[in-house]
């Protein structure tokens, strides 16, 4: 990949994303075909005086062969060394950078129940690790670079899909700015202002409606707090967990969603596509669902555990965000979730509840925070979406009209 891109990418990810400190370890998850990205990140990390850099290589072709040939019993047996290696990162205060660049069709033809069983086993085995990640026990960041198959899926008619996707990533990650680190600092301020506005109103619930059939209210957790791009880790240092990011988000109350919500974009889950789906909630729980495509995969997702029937996140993004304006479907949640308002099935982020670090798990559940081994975002924002925030005294504050912020 182009040297100039790699340098800007690595520096921005390490300074703004994980906020790597001197004498700190860094773990990178990287597709094996993108070793130049891992090398660039490692070089940049040592320029910032990192302690050590570990890379875990990923290869979907090998994963696919394993899913097709190994039996479910073997696939669900998560080795202890793997679990230990993840817990080690938390214990030793590493920061964690994952490069998400999956081919959305990688696991086509693999029985969804096999994928679901393996995902469930992994989620269970790594529960402690994921808990640390989601409560900001470590600083972490998810980013993307184009891989061959992913780029081909996004730009099937292009002569050079990888390069086209690279240009789009450069733009949406603000790497085309003269000083991307400064551009990010400015962007973070804008998003923080929106979060402050929402926090100042302390809404009891949000009401979503649009013309494709969404009529849905989502109650918010007691003592919820809206969070934007920049979060604080348990060690007090700021970091940005997703790059790019355009969202402000908070915790829905696990018992208080009602009505029907329609998907606005396809969802790529475990290498399979779910599209044209609809979920109906009562008392926070999915009581009915349908899908034009990928019904079985959706069913497996919803039935993963008792928490995947409920919501763990609600996030607001206007239709004029740079990603939304690109009108490109990325088949990658990191980008697609920033093109549209979304909600997530599964685990809620403890950090979206005030003073969560002082609260037990039981206390968080009592405030309404959902728990699960999964957290899967899907898009619900259409160009005509209307959102009102409803306060405790039942007054409505218009937040979105025609798919965009009006505050
Ligand atoms: Zn989100
Ligand atoms: Zn999410």
Rounded to the nearest angstrom, the distance between the alpha carbon of 356 and the centre of ligand 1 is: 19
Distance 6 CA to ligand 1 centre (A): 26
Rounded Cα gap, residues 208 and 384, in angstroms = 11
Per-residue pLDDT, averaged over 286-295, amounts to 97
CA 333 to ligand 2 centroid distance, Å: 9
Give the number of residues written for the chain: 407
- Write out pLDDT tens, residues 92-128: 999 999 999 989 888 989 998 899 899 999 999 999 9
Distance 317 CA to ligand 2 centre (A): 13
- Residue 224: the pLDDT is 97
- Counting Cα atoms < 13 Å in the Cβ hemisphere of 113 gives 3
- How far apart (Å, rounded) are the C-alpha atoms in residues 7 and 277? 40
Give the per-residue SS3 of 280-319.
EEECCEEEEEEEEECHHHHHHHHCCCHHHHCEEEEEECCC
Determine the distance separating the centroid of ligand 1 and the alpha carbon of 183, expressed in angstroms: 21
**From the centroid of its chain, how far is CA 384?**
24
Q: Which ligand is nearest to the CA of 374?
A: 2
Measured in Å, residue 321 CA sits from the centre of ligand 1 at: 14
**Cα 313 to averaged position of ligand 1 atoms, centre (Å):** 7
Percent of the chain with pLDDT over 90: 85
Distance 342 CA to ligand 2 centre (A): 8
Distance 338 CA to ligand 2 centre (A): 10
User: Distance between CA 380 and CA 319 in Å, rounded?
Assistant: 11
d(Cα 217, Cα 205) in Å, to the nearest integer?
7
pLDDT over 90 (residue 134):
no
Short-list 225, 253, 205, CA closest to 399: 205
**Residue 407: predicted pLDDT:** 84
State yes or no: pLDDT of 271 exceeds 80: no
Q: Which ligand is nearest to the CA of 377?
A: 2
Distance, in Å, from the CA atom of 161 to the CA atom of 155, rounded to the nearest integer, reads: 5
Task: Reply yes or no: is the peptide bond before residue 244 cis, omega within 30 of 0.
Answer: yes
Ligand with minimal distance to 312 CA: 2
pLDDT for 320 equals 86
Please state which CATH number belongs to domain 3-172.
Answer: 3.40.1830.10
The DSSP symbol for 242 reads B
Q: List, as one string, the DSSP characters of 261-280.
A: EE-SS-EEETTEEEEEEEEE
What pLDDT shows up at residue 161?
97
Domain ranges of the chain: 3-172, 194-405
Rounded to the nearest whole angstrom, what is the distance from the C-alpha of residue 79 to the centroid of ligand 2? 27
What is the four-CA torsion angle of 323, 326, 327, 332, rounded to 10 degrees?
-50
CA 33 and chain centroid, separation: 23
Distance, in Å, from the CA atom of 334 to the CA atom of 243, rounded to the nearest integer, reads 8
Decide: 315 and 334 in contact? Cβ < 8 Å: no
- Kindly give the distance from the C-alpha atom of residue 192 to the centroid of ligand 1, in angstroms, as a whole number: 15
pLDDT at residue number 112:
85
Side-chain-side CA neighbours of 325 within 13 Å: the count stands at 9
pLDDT confidence of residue 27: 98
> Do the strands 272-282 and 285-293 form a parallel or antiparallel pair, or are they unpaired?
antiparallel
Residue 229 is predicted with a pLDDT of 84
Ligand 2 centroid to residue 3 C-alpha, Å = 31
Predicted confidence band at 325 (pLDDT cuts at 50, 70, 90)?
confident
The CA-based dihedral angle spanning residues 215, 221, 282, 212, taken in that order and rounded to the nearest 10 degrees: 20
**85 CA from centroid of ligand 2 (Å):** 24
Considering only CA atoms, which of 115, 119, 64 is closest in space to residue 296? 115
Report which bound ligand comes closest to the CA of 341: 1
Question: Measured in angstroms, how far is the CA atom of residue 376 from the centroid of ligand 2?
Answer: 6
C-beta contacts of 170-174 below 8 A and 24+ residues apart: 170/5, 171/322, 171/326, 172/244, 172/322, 172/323, 172/326, 172/335, 172/338, 173/9, 173/12, 173/143, 173/243, 173/244, 174/12, 174/244
Distance 273 CA to ligand 2 centre (A): 18
Mean of the pLDDT values across residues 158-185? 95
Q: What is the pLDDT of the chain when averaged over all its residues?
A: 94
Task: Please give the distance, rounded to the nearest whole angstrom, from the Cα atom of residue 41 to the centre of ligand 2.
Answer: 25
> Residues 204-237: pLDDT tens digits?
999 999 999 999 999 999 999 999 989 899 999 9
What separation in Å is there between the alpha carbon of 188 and the centre of ligand 1?
Answer: 15
């Amino acid at each position: 990949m182009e040297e100039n891109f790699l340098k800007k990418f690595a520096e921005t990810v390490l300074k703004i994303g994980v906020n790597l400190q001197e004498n700190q370890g860094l773990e990178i998850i990287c597709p094996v075909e993108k070793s130049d990205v891992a090398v660039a990140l490692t070089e940049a990390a040592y320029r910032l005086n990192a302690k050590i850099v570990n890379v875990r290589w990923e290869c979907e072709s090998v994963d696919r062969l394993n899913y097709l040939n190994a039996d479910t019993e073997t696939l669900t047996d998560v080795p202890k060394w793997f679990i230990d290696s993840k817990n080690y990162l938390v214990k030793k205060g590493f920061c964690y950078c994952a490069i998400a660049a999956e081919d959305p069709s990688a696991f086509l033809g693999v029985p969804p129940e096999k994928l679901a069983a393996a995902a469930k086993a992994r989620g269970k085995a790594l529960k402690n690790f994921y808990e640390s990640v989601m409560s900001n026990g470590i600083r972490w960041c998810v980013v993307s670079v184009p891989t061959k198959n992913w780029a081909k899926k996004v730009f099937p008619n292009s002569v050079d899909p990888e390069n086209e996707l690279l240009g789009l990533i450069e733009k949406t990650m603000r790497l085309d700015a003269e000083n991307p680190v400064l551009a990010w600092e400015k962007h973070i301020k804008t998003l923080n202002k929106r979060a402050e506005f929402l926090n100042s109103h302390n809404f009891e619930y949000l009401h979503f409606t649009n013309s494709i059939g969404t009529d849905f209210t989502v109650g918010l957790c007691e003592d919820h707090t809206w969070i934007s791009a920049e979060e604080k880790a348990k060690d007090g240092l700021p970091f940005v967990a997703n790059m790019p990011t355009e969202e402000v988000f908070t915790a829905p109350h696990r018992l208080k969603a009602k009505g029907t919500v329609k998907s606005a974009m396809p969802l790529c889950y475990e290498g399979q596509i779910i599209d044209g789906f609809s979920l109906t909630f009562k008392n926070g729980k999915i009581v009915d669902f349908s899908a034009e495509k990928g019904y079985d995969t959706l069913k497996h997702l919803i039935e993963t555990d008792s928490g995947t029937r409920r919501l763990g996140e609600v996030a607001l993004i206007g239709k004029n965000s740079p990603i939304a304006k690109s009108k490109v479907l990325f088949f990658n949640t990191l980008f697609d979730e920033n093109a549209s308002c979304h909600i997530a099935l599964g685990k809620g982020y403890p950090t979206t509840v005030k003073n969560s670090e002082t609260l037990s798990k039981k206390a968080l559940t009592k405030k309404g925070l959902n728990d699960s081994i999964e957290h899967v975002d899907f898009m619900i924002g259409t160009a005509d979406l209307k959102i009102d925030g409803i306060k405790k005294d039942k007054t409505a504050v218009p937040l979105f009209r025609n798919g965009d912020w009006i505050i």
